[in-house]
């Protein structure tokens, strides 16, 4: 972070080039390496070299307007310049200035929103309810965020772009089939934007059927459709840049919630399904020709999932991390206990290693604070908030996303492969 603050402090004093000039100076690099160039908000150009590249031995030659020139005729000589990660390097040739930043760190912007709840009704809602029309507008707002010129980070001159988009649950209306919201999400994937979504409490039904036995067919189909929706976007995201995808399951339970983890440009993301303690369950189909009911055989504590997660975190502590689940850490206890509106919990088969709400919070915060530079994102509450939590002597922030259904509000998150999250900003895509 000291390095980053230093390069920001030099911006005002630096001699900046216009985009037109910057585009006319190019470089050759050692070993045939190539750099990805992107224009910064301050007019400089960010040259992203492969991870591990020695920046101070990278430049071997210079071209101006496509013609090779003697590097010694450029002031300072680019082949002899000590290059500091991220700082502006200004080169002058024949009286014209060209400004660049060089990095071997990957930078990206993530957009995280929650609770689109498309076409939701009821629940005595007083908020504006999202429609297909409004959701289309806001999704296109995300897609076109760079071109709009509306968005910028406060502390970094990097131009935001929708490099990764995440929905923190409550995708659809109750008993929805995910078709309405999928058509909106598909606007993102059609642009090859890696998109991840997850379950919220409106996307799965277990605790509401606490009497335990007979479920309507629509309930189980609803759960399976929601899970299928999540799985489909995990698959498309793998094709669009996420890596190292791993699910967490356990032996019991035919219907697994499958919380998961992945990396994107060097940052580790941990994705809860609703929340990390959501119970797997099994059931018996008692329907005839697809018409009838299901028998809920058993719900199980998520012990195996949490044990696997604990082992995994111990092996990946050095990776900068982003944690996302639907429930905020400080939401009401009943949500952490998977209770219905009457305070009833589903009967659990077996011994729950984390039976209380605070037991679950503490275990979760213990895992979060074991990871490098952790940030947490959630939804559910419909009100934007930044809540600090301290555990193991380490403080992190839970960024509760605003109610996306009411106005297209979200978090815009700047990350890099070295530090993980470096800035979080509240934005809206209702434009």
The CATH number that applies at residue 115 is 3.60.21
Q: What is the pLDDT of residue 360?
A: 98
With a cut of 90, say whether residue 217 has pLDDT above it: no
- In a shared domain, residues 123 and 53: no
Total domains present in the chain: 2
Task: Tell which wins on pLDDT, 156 or 188.
Answer: 188
With a cut of 70, say whether residue 160 has pLDDT above it: yes
Q: Which two tokens stand for residue 301?
A: 């504590």
Across 334-348, average pLDDT: 83
With a cut of 50, say whether residue 12 has pLDDT above it: no
- Could you tell me the residue range of the domain that residue 359 belongs to? 107-428
With a cut of 80, say whether residue 398 has pLDDT above it: yes
- In a shared domain, residues 226 and 94: no
For residues 312 and 213, give the distance between their C-alpha atoms in angstroms, rounded to a whole number: 35
H-type helices in 263-402, by residue range? 303-315, 333-336, 357-369
- In a shared domain, residues 225 and 261: yes
Q: Model confidence at 130, in pLDDT bands (50, 70, 90)?
A: confident
- In a shared domain, residues 210 and 76: no
Please identify, among 38, 72, 103, the residue that sits at the C-terminal boundary of a domain.
Answer: 103
With a cut of 70, say whether residue 21 has pLDDT above it: no
- In a shared domain, residues 114 and 40: no
Residue-wise pLDDT tens digits, 182-196: 999 999 999 999 999
Residues 196, 271 contacting (CB under 8 angstroms): yes
Q: Model confidence at 180, in pLDDT bands (50, 70, 90)?
A: confident
For residues 401 and 150, give the distance between their C-alpha atoms in angstroms, rounded to a whole number: 20
Residue-wise pLDDT tens digits, 399-426: 999 999 988 999 999 999 999 999 999 9
Please identify, among 103, 125, 148, the residue that sits at the C-terminal boundary of a domain.
Answer: 103
Across 76-103, average pLDDT: 94
- In a shared domain, residues 126 and 95: no
């Amino acid at each position: 972070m000291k390095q980053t603050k230093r390069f920001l402090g030099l911006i005002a004093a630096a001699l900046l080039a216009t985009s037109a000039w910057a585009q006319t100076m190019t470089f050759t690099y050692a070993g045939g390496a190539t750099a990805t160039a992107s224009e910064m908000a301050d007019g400089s150009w960010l040259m992203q070299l492969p991870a591990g590249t020695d920046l101070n031995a990278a430049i071997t030659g210079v071209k101006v307007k496509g013609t090779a020139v003697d590097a010694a005729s450029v002031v300072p000589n680019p082949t002899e310049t000590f290059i500091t990660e991220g700082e502006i390097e200004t080169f002058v040739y024949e009286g014209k200035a060209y400004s660049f930043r060089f990095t071997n760190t990957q930078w990206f912007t993530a957009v995280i929103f929650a609770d689109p709840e498309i076409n939701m009704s009821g629940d005595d809602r007083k908020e504006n309810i999202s429609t297909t029309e409004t959701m289309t507008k806001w999704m296109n707002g995300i897609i076109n965020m760079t071109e709009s010129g509306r968005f910028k980070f406060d502390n970094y001159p990097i131009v935001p772009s929708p490099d990764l988009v995440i929905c923190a649950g409550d995708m659809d209306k109750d008993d929805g089939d995910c078709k309405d919201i999928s058509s909106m999400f598909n606007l993102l994937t059609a642009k090859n934007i890696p998109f991840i979504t997850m379950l919220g409490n409106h996307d799965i039904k277990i605790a509401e059927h606490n009497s335990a036995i007979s479920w309507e067919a629509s309930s189980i189909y609803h759960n399976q459709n929601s899970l299928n929706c999540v799985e489909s976007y995990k698959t498309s995201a793998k094709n669009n840049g996420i890596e190292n995808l791993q699910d967490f399951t356990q032996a019991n339970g035919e219907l697994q919630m499958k919380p998961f983890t992945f990396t994107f440009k060097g940052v580790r993301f941990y994705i809860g399904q609703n929340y990390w303690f959501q119970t797997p369950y099994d059931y018996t189909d008692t329907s005839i020709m697809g018409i009838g009911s299901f028998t809920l055989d058993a719900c199980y504590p998520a012990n195996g999932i949490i044990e696997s997660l604990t082992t995994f975190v111990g092996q990946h502590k050095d990776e900068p991390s982003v944690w996302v689940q639907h429930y905020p850490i400080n939401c009401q206890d009943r949500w952490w206990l998977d209770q219905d509106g009457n305070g009833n919990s589903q009967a659990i088969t077996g011994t729950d290693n984390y039976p209380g709400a605070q037991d679950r919070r503490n275990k979760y915060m213990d895992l979060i604070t074991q990871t490098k530079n952790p940030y947490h994102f959630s939804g559910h509450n419909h009100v934007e908030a930044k809540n600090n939590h301290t555990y193991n002597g380490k403080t992190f922030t839970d960024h509760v996303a605003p109610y996306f259904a009411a106005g297209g509000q979200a978090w815009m998150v700047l990350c890099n492969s070295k530090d993980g999250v470096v800035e979080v900003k509240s934005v809206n895509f209702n434009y």
